[in-house]
Amino acid sequence: MRFAAFRHRCCHVLTLVALLAICAQAFAQTDPLPSWNDGPAKQAIVAFVRATTDQSSPTFVPPEARIATFDQDGTLWVEHPMYSQVIYCLERVPAVVKAKPELAKVEPFKTVLSGNREAMAKLSMKDLEKILVATLTGMSVDAFNAEARKWLDTAKDPRWKRPYTELTYLPMQEVLKYLRANGYKTYIVTGGGQDFVRVYAEQTYGIPPEQVVGTAGGTTYGYAKDGQPFLTKEAKLLLNDNNAGKPEGIHLMIGRRPYAAFGNSTGDRQMLEYAKAGDGARLSMLVLHDDATREYAYGPAQGLPATRVGTFTQALYDEATQRGWVVISMKHDWKRIFAFE
């Protein structure tokens, strides 16, 4: 009898241990954001998803209305010290000059060809625009896509020595997947070139071309000699997808107000305002680059100098507090930053 009772008690203990193990495993399996430290940022994301997808929630959102928008540079991947698309354009200059040799003697192409990095860093916005127009327009859509794809397959970031498309933030990739698993359509809404980002967004983020909204130029429809039609990229700007251009671009391309929006700079301010101003549960979040060791720390909100890339000003910080946006500290909220770490 004593043995039986012992065995019985053992069974109970074993059952308890097994249950605990199963629970722990289940918890580990179901934590949708494993690269996030527990804290207000992670909690805000989980609470938002519950509030909008639980049928019994007073702020339940029907699946077809679940839209979430993400800035790209500095929000989904590294933008410092220079947007990768700008690097692409600078590296395309020799090929452009080869096709149009008269440009070799003209600024800003002369400076870019010199390879003098110090001089290149001082190029004005107007000079940069000339480079963007020369390297991104005047060719067919298919030719542009092929060139951009070739560059993305070979170019490497000088600090991590990896393709730019590997420099995406693992915690944000988890947010994208978590939202999609809960019925959200995820969009990129970027100041970067719409056509450029569309080349890699599907493979890199699981976001198809039609869910990439970006700075967009016009195209012109025409015919090749054999009668086959094709589109040519023109220098005409249709949408400057920065600042007020972000909600305007969202209206043009999506036609609904997002329930969640993610950014990292003053260029995302209006998008975050627009998302948060809707009724029901809304989530606006800002990534703060405060991790000089694992990534970068920059922006006036930390008393650091403004850079060419996204600026997180004190005014933006204040608006975030006032309007109830959640600031994500890369240093404190993110357990891991990159998948390759």
Cα–Cα distance measured from residue 286 to residue 263, given in angstroms and rounded to the nearest whole number:
5
Q: Is 62 in the site for its own copies (CB under 8 A)?
A: no
Closest distance to its own copies from the beta carbon of 247 (Å)? 5
99, 335 in Cβ contact below 8 A? no
Strands (E), 224-299: 229-239, 260-263, 283-288
Q: Is 209 in the site for its own copies (CB under 8 A)?
A: yes
Query: What does the block give as tokens for 102?
Result: 């008269």
Span interacting with its own copies, options 19-27, 40-48, 115-123, 210-218, rule CB under 8 A: 210-218
Cα–Cα distance measured from residue 18 to residue 24, given in angstroms and rounded to the nearest whole number:
10
For its own copies, what does the binding mask look like between residues 171 and 190, x meaning CB under 8 A? --------------x-----
Tell me the HSE value of 144 on the side-chain side, using a 13 A CA sphere.
26
Q: Is 253 in the site for its own copies (CB under 8 A)?
A: yes
Span interacting with its own copies, options 24-32, 80-88, 167-175, 250-258, rule CB under 8 A: 250-258
111 — phi, psi (to 5°)? -60, -45
The secondary structure of 65-81 as a DSSP string is G-EEEE--BTTTB--SS
Closest distance to its own copies from the beta carbon of 212 (Å)? 7
Residue written as token pair 């060719």: 139
Residues in contact with its own copies, total (CB under 8 A)? 35
Q: Is 208 in the site for its own copies (CB under 8 A)?
A: yes
Q: Which of residues 281-300 bind its own copies (CB under 8 A)?
A: none
Q: Which position among 251, 292, 318, 340 is part of the footprint of its own copies (CB under 8 A)?
A: 251
Q: Which position among 89, 97, 152, 212 is part of the footprint of its own copies (CB under 8 A)?
A: 212
Span interacting with its own copies, options 30-38, 268-276, 283-291, 306-314, rule CB under 8 A: 268-276
Span interacting with its own copies, options 89-97, 169-177, 247-255, 290-298, rule CB under 8 A: 247-255
Query: Which residues, including other chains, have CB under 8 Å from residue 166's CB and lie 6 or more apart?
Result: 160, 338, 339, 340
Which residue stretches of the chain are H helix?
2-30, 40-53, 84-99, 109-114, 117-121, 125-136, 141-154, 170-181, 194-205, 245-253, 269-276, 314-323, 330-333
- Kindly list the distances between the CA atom of residue 283 and the CA atoms of 34, 71, 259, in Å, as whole numbers in the listed order: 20, 14, 6
Q: Which position among 75, 186, 270, 311 is part of the footprint of its own copies (CB under 8 A)?
A: 270
Q: Is 155 in the site for its own copies (CB under 8 A)?
A: no
- Which positions touch its own copies (CB under 8 A)? 64, 67, 141, 185, 194-195, 198, 202, 208-210, 212, 216, 218-221, 228-229, 231, 238-239, 244, 247-248, 251-256, 270, 273-274, 277
